[in-house]
Every structure is written in C-alpha cells, then in structure tokens.
Amino acid sequence: MEQTTKDHAELAQEFNRDEDRVDWHDETLWFIRAKRDKAAHNIPEWETLREAASQIKNNVLSNLHNYLQQFEKNAIANGVEVHWAADAAEHNQIVHRLINEANVVRMVKSKSMLTEECGLNEYLAKNGIEVIDSDLGERIVQLAEEPPSHIVLPCIHKKKEEIGEIFHQHLGIEAGISDPQFLTETARQHLREVFLTRKVALTGVNFAIAETGEFVVCTNEGNADMGAHLAEVHIASMGIEKLLPERKHLGVFLRLLTRSATGQPITTYSSHFKKPREGKKIHIIIVDNGRTVQLGRKDFRNSLKCIRCAACMNTCPVYRRSGGHSYHTAVAGPIGSILAPNLDMEKYVDLPFASTLCGSCSNVCPVKIDIHDQLYKWRQVLVKAGYAPAAKKAGMQAMTWTLSSPGLYHMAGKAGRWVLKHAPFAVNNKLNPWFKQREMPTPPEQSFGEWYKQNGKKK
C-alpha cells in the first residue's frame, strides 16, 4: 500500500475534487449516525451504561498490570499459548513464526485494526505468505490495493459500480454488475473456498476477560468464526488495552458496542473463545506498540479506553467530508487523530488539527473519551515540541507580535480593511487558504475601537 507524504489537508483536497461523491459520503455516514441515535434512544439507561463502561475502562487502565497477568495465567490454564510483542515488528515476526511452524504459506484473516496498525499483510507478503482478508469490505479494499478507510465499514468510500469492476477484474464476474446482493454472493462463494482450505486463521479481539482468560470477537458476517473454527491454528492479536476485569462486564460493552457502531442491537455473532478445539491451537499475541507510552501520558491515556465502534468518525463533520484515507493512518477520524501522534509526532502532526473541535465525537463516545479536548491538547504538545508546520509557526509568531502591541494591532486592522476594500485581488486568490471555497467578507468602514471613539461617549 502506498506510503503518503501528503498531509490531511492535501489529501482531503483530493477527496473534495468530486463534490457529488463528498456529499454522498457525508450522507451515508450521517445515515449511520442517525441509526446510532435511534438505537441509543431506545435504551432509557443509555447514559448510565456509558458511565459504567467509562468507569470499567478506567479501572482496567489503572490495574492493567494485574489484569494482564491474571488474563495470561487463565488463558494458559485454558490451553491457550500467550505471546507478548513490544512493537509492530515483533508482532509480525511472531505471526510469521507461527505460520512457519504450521508448515503453510497461506492464512485467512478477519478484521483486526491492530494488524493494519502493524502493517502485517505487507510484512507477510514480503516473506512469501499470502493473506486473504475475509471481511467483505476488507476483501474489497485488499483487492483494490487500498487500506480500509473506516474501522467498521472498510470500503465505505467505494461505490457499488467500482466494487463490481474490482470483482470483474479479480473474481471473474461479468463486467457492469453492481447489485450488492450479487456481489456479496460472489464474495461468499470465493471466500468459502478460502475458509475451507486455510490451516491458519488470524482474528482480532474485541474484549479479553482477565477473570476467565477468554476473549470475544464480534462480527456480522460470521467470517471470524468460519476462519477460526475450520483452521488448525487460530492466532488472535490484541492490544494490551482490550481487557475487561470480569465476564459480566461484557453485558455493559456488548449493549453499547454495536448500537454505537451501526445502530444494531448487537452484532450477529459475539463469539467467546476460551479453549482450543481438541488437538488444535489458539495463540494470543498481546501487543504494546506504543500503548504503554500513551498510558503514561496523563492527558491522553483515556484514548486507550476506545472500543473501536467508529461512532466518532460517523458523526465527525471533518471525517465525513474528507474521507478516511485523508488521515493516512490505520485508525482514521477523531480517535485516530489522538492515537496516531503518540506513535509518531512528526508524521501525524497534522491530524489533531483536522478537527473543528465541535465536540460531537466526545458526545457519542460510548466510553466517554474526551476526544475533542485531547485533540486540542495534542495541538499544544505538538507546537511546543516544535512539530508545527513552518507557515503556521510564522503566522502564529506574526500574530503574537501584532497582538502584543496596540499600535501594530490598530495599524494591521486598518491595513486589512484597506486591502479588502481597495485591493481585493491581494487576498482573493489561491495563495490565501481562507479564500478556498469562501467569499471574503465585505470590510467594515471602521474598527470597533474607532466606532467607540466616535459614539461611545454620546448619550
């Protein structure tokens, strides 16, 4: 997959070239947001549930050291092998080793944003291992050689005609078919063959229970189960933050997760894996990859409470109009923009600025992460650490200089009004980012200061 050096604004601009598509993308995601609202409003105790989920996750983060060990002990007692990976590279190497040990060169994988974060598919491809993604949306973007643009709906940016074309090229259907029913049936037949012939299956983990050592995987399609139950070896990759203390806590989270994500009351399948099948193997890889660093950042550790429902993306006015790919990171949208700078401040410096700070994300978050506050705080951290773009830095310096001197301030105001009035071409051009998709305002005749001098004393 293509590595990009463009920032969010540049990538969003590319996405915005096709205005109809942007409107369609915007409306589709808002439709999902509306379904979420309907589902939430059907539960009178919704806010109590959010608060409970938030408190459970706070407890998890504050006792993670114990829970991780408790989970490991119980999982091992269940006959599961537990591995620990400090970073993406180690995670990928462990997966590769397990595939080698199984003596195969092909693997089927259900949705795991962690493996996207780790770049697992690319790594395995380089090592001669074929990975097939089995979630329909993920399979589509995989065939298109693109990353997912949304964590729940990986190909939400694609039109059905484009998907028909991809299936025409790769799965041999006739050209010009765009019926979702037909396309889904095509993928079903294609992937059934895959499920029945792969000996190693990798899944993500939605929740892991310290008390019992079991883990829960949620899907609508049944692809995680088809892969895992037909394989000899099941590898489950999880971040350290996926833990819940007790099984009964799932009651809170399974009520919140899918209602927040798609407005469904629950996913079709909520599968609890505890022990491997007779004679088969389950491996769990517990991954850090920067999470312990984030845990140490007081202002940002709450981001680790995320359960990946994507409600913050569906509601975000910036995400809806800029598309998931503009975030150039595995987890897009508001939550991705507070997770990514922890991994690489320089590379993701643009993301906390890709927000209006309207706060809608925080209002829909099922575990009450203060997302928009964290976006605001990241901006300050990034600028102080010297990562702000040169133009922004220069602009801010000029503003500081101007605002700290009343004389300069008045002069600059006058100059601005004069330019807008007598030389509008100086600002109404492409070099001025404020002019993009906007008309510049008509300048007032005088500043408030000047007006007050004239009128303030009258009475």
Partner 1 sequence: MSSREKILAAVKANQPDSTALPDLSVFETTEQGSLQKFAEVLGTIGGKIAYVSGYNEIAGIINSQYGIGVKIVSPLKEFKELITDNLDDLLSIHDLHDVDVAILKAHFGVAENGAVWITENEMAHRVLPFVTQHLAIVIDAATIVSTMHQAYDRISSAIYGFGTFIAGPSKTADIEQSLVIGAHGPRSMTVFVLNANSGTAK
Question: Per CB under 8 A, which of residues 46..105 are in contact with partner 1?
Answer: 48-49, 51-52, 55-56, 58-59, 61-65, 68-69, 84-86, 90
Residue 241 or 350 having the CB closest to partner 1? 241
**Stretch of residues binding partner 1 (CB under 8 A), selected from 15-23, 274-282, 394-402, 438-446:** 274-282
Give the tokens for residue 197.
Answer: 């012939």
CA distances from 239 to 84, 258, 451 (A): 10, 20, 60
CA distance 397 to 18: 36
**Stretch of residues binding partner 1 (CB under 8 A), selected from 26-34, 361-369, 385-393, 421-429:** 26-34
Q: What contacts 211, CB < 8 A, 6 or more positions away?
A: 70, 74, 245, 246, 247
Q: How far is the CB of 227 from partner 1 (least distance, A)?
A: 9
- The span from the first CA to the last CA of the chain, in angstroms, equals 70
Q: Which of 365, 323, 287 is nearest to 116 (CA)?
A: 287
Q: How far is the CB of 209 from partner 1 (least distance, A)?
A: 11
**Stretch of residues binding partner 1 (CB under 8 A), selected from 118-126, 134-142, 382-390, 398-406:** 134-142
Beta bridge partners of 109: 133, 202
Region 382-441 residues binding partner 1, contact defined as CB under 8 A: none
Residue 39 or 371 having the CB closest to partner 1? 39
Q: How far is the CB of 429 from partner 1 (least distance, A)?
A: 39
Residue 158 or 320 having the CB closest to partner 1? 158
Q: From the list 267, 326, 329, 355, which residue makes contact with partner 1 (rule: CB under 8 A)?
A: 267
Residue 202 or 250 having the CB closest to partner 1? 250
- Answer left, alpha or beta for residue 260, where phi above 0 means left and psi between -120 and 50 means alpha: alpha
CA distance 293 to 130: 33
Beta bridge partners of 106: 130
Q: From the list 38, 277, 392, 438, which residue makes contact with partner 1 (rule: CB under 8 A)?
A: 277
**Stretch of residues binding partner 1 (CB under 8 A), selected from 131-139, 317-325, 405-413, 448-456:** 131-139
Residue 293 or 426 having the CB closest to partner 1? 293
Residue 272 or 438 having the CB closest to partner 1? 272
Q: How far is the CB of 433 from partner 1 (least distance, A)?
A: 33
Give the tokens for residue 113.
Answer: 């944003």
The four Cα atoms 252, 209, 270, 100 give a dihedral, to 10 degrees, of: 150
Find the helix or strand (DSSP H, E) in which 84 lies.
Answer: strand 81-85
Q: Which residue has the tokens 């517990």?
A: 286
CA distance 75 to 79: 7
Count of residues that bind partner 1 according to CB under 8 A: 87
**Stretch of residues binding partner 1 (CB under 8 A), selected from 43-51, 404-412, 414-422, 431-439:** 43-51
Q: From the list 270, 402, 428, 446, which residue makes contact with partner 1 (rule: CB under 8 A)?
A: 270
CA distance 378 to 285: 30
CB-based contact 319:337 (threshold 8 Å) = no
* Count of CB atoms situated within 10 Å of the CB of 413: 18
**Stretch of residues binding partner 1 (CB under 8 A), selected from 120-128, 291-299, 312-320, 430-438:** 291-299
Q: From the list 207, 273, 300, 348, which residue makes contact with partner 1 (rule: CB under 8 A)?
A: 273
Sign, CA torsion 313/314/315/321 = positive
Beta strands in 215-287 (DSSP E): 215-219, 233-239, 243-244, 269-273, 281-287
Sign, CA torsion 14/18/23/25 = negative
Binding characters for partner 1, 141-170, by CB under 8 A (x = yes): ------------xxxx-xxx--x-------
Q: Which of 125, 69, 65 is nearest to 95 (CA)?
A: 125
Q: Which of 249, 288, 256 is nearest to 272 (CA)?
A: 249
Give the tokens for residue 185.
Answer: 């049936």
Q: From the list 107, 114, 143, 183, which residue makes contact with partner 1 (rule: CB under 8 A)?
A: 183
Give the tokens for residue 386.
Answer: 């010297």
Q: From the list 266, 394, 403, 411, which residue makes contact with partner 1 (rule: CB under 8 A)?
A: 266
Residue 22 or 420 having the CB closest to partner 1? 22
Binding characters for partner 1, 200-239, by CB under 8 A (x = yes): --------------------xxxx-xx--xx---------
Is residue 315 a contact residue for partner 1 (CB under 8 A)?
Answer: no
**Stretch of residues binding partner 1 (CB under 8 A), selected from 27-35, 337-345, 346-354, 433-441:** 27-35
Q: How far is the CB of 137 from partner 1 (least distance, A)?
A: 4
Binding characters for partner 1, 237-256, by CB under 8 A (x = yes): ---x----x-xxxxxx-xx-
CB-based contact 29:320 (threshold 8 Å) = yes
Region 184-203 residues binding partner 1, contact defined as CB under 8 A: 184-185, 188, 191-192, 195-196
Residue 139 or 372 having the CB closest to partner 1? 139
